[in-house]
Amino acid sequence: MNTLNSSTAPAAGEYAGDEVSAIVLDPGYSTIRAGFAGEDVPKSVCPSFYGQIEDSSQYLFGENAIHTPASNLQIKNYWGSDGIVEDWDTAAKVWEYAITSRLTGARAGDPARNGLNDDPKQENGEATDVDMETIENQEKPLEESPLLMTEPGWNPTKAREKAIEIAMEEWGTPAFYLQKTGVLAAFASGKASGIIIDVGASHTSVTPVLDGMVLKKGVQKSPLAGNFVSNQIRLGFKQSQPEIPLTPHYLVKSKTPVDAGSPAQAIYKTFSVPPTDSFRHYQEERVLTEYKESVVEIWPGPGRLSNGTNEEIAKSMPGRPFEMPDGWNQVFGVDRFRAAEGLFDASAALTDDANPRPKDEHTLPRLVQAAVQHVDADQRPLLLQNIVVTGGSTLLYKFGDRLNYEINAIYPSTRNKLIAPGPVVERKYAAWIGGSILASLGSFHQLWISRKEYEEHGANIVEKRCR
């Protein structure tokens, strides 16, 4: 299939000119979303976390591998703290795993044997061996699929060049394009202009988009996102009296019901060599995720939680019970409002030595304000009518209410409009869905950077073509 020439009529097999086999890859801090363009949800959602056996270069990818306690298994993430990929070698491997394991399966075998975990020489030999009589003889995982990748709004040139290098050199993709998550999330909601508020795991970003172009200088980012909320919950547990124990599932053999607040009576598992701290941390995150889903609530306004009698009102609201994996349980009253208040009100964040008070300008209202200020005054109303909310952390209960209140407090207008898709998948995978839409547009074909162009101009072409 010739995907590069946009002037020829699409073959009958291609529905409305869709390039059905294009792959959309949307790597995030917590998960990597990958799938075929034209579909409505990514088929492959893999954790960005990977396991590494200590003192060896053996990597473990995928859900199945990183949840089994082992004494020397370190759980790592390839993202740097600034929201830019740090460990490129591993990133490429994890991404490749996300694509091959659930989408193409180009290489036979499971992760232990499919070559991802061996040295590259071996894997090529094995692949050609197995694929002898297959329909298409693939040596590289993406030889027949154009690839659309997403990037954060603040991605530096070097990282962008690295991305196209990996796609072209390592995966052998015939065509490539790089697009910012903000634009794609706007597309997913059917908007060409708007403000995209994306609260992910490691970062919150606010991106002003005008006519499908990101206003680069307006892009705001802050570390106050899902992981920050997790830390706030941990702090809350630690500071409560008595301290709330956070025991991940793998430590518990079986539990027995206990009264609220009383110590857990569980049978714990014993390990001759306890799993690493990073493993425990990762497993604790699972419990915290459950806590976020079922307990945490954001003070919906009006006003901040600390304002006037708001806290009293919050106290009178019904609490929500939560049970730890070891059976310890309690009803959480006003505490559950405090966990995420820091996203909106820096002064309300819980702090200790390791977790200093967040900066005021990192809170959501201030980010939105800063982003809007970079836009010409006459275009601000247009943007404020299209405030797209996306990212997994925006699923916190009452998040939208509070955001709506905060924005209206800064820009009082009846026309401000929050666009927050109801279905959870659309919220979580907005950027991917936008990518899926974009890559399946017939008119998008002319945007692809073809292999030929890459070979001619080098990696720097990505700067010229993908704006």
Site for another protein in 324-353 (CB under 8 A): 325, 327, 329-331
Residue 227 tokens, joined: 């992981």
One residue of 7, 13, 81, 443 binding another protein per CB under 8 A: 13
Q: Which is nearer to another protein, 69 or 212 (CB)?
A: 69
Site for another protein in 98-117 (CB under 8 A): 100-106, 108-110
Q: What is the DSSP string of 12-25?
A: TTSGGG--TT-EEE
Site for another protein in 29-48 (CB under 8 A): 36, 39, 41-45
Phi, psi of 429, rounded to the nearest 5 degrees: -110, 25
Q: How far is the CB of 88 from another protein (least distance, A)?
A: 25
Coil, helix or strand for 42?
A: coil
CB 356 within 8 A of CB 286: no
Q: How far apart are CA 385 and CA 88, in angstroms?
A: 38
State yes or no: residue 401 binds another protein (CB under 8 A).
yes
Amino acid at 285: E
Residues 6+ apart with CB under 8 A from 301: 401, 402, 404, 405, 406
Give the interface segment with another protein, choosing from 225-233, 259-267, 271-279, 365-373 (CB under 8 A): 259-267
Residues 6+ apart with CB under 8 A from 190: none
State yes or no: residue 53 binds another protein (CB under 8 A).
no
State yes or no: residue 25 binds another protein (CB under 8 A).
no
Q: How far apart are CA 110 and CA 104, in angstroms?
A: 13
- What distances in angstroms separate CA 60 from CA 66, 121, 278, 331, 380, one per listed residue? 7, 19, 14, 38, 47
Q: How far is the CB of 136 from another protein (least distance, A)?
A: 9
Site for another protein in 416-445 (CB under 8 A): 418, 420-425, 427-428
Q: Which is nearer to another protein, 187 or 399 (CB)?
A: 399
Query: Count residues contacting another protein (CB under 8 A)?
Result: 79
Residue 293 tokens, joined: 């889903």
State yes or no: residue 139 binds another protein (CB under 8 A).
no
Q: Which is nearer to another protein, 22 or 164 (CB)?
A: 22
One residue of 6, 67, 88, 140 binding another protein per CB under 8 A: 67
One residue of 321, 359, 361, 381 binding another protein per CB under 8 A: 321
Site for another protein in 272-301 (CB under 8 A): 286, 289-290, 293-295, 300
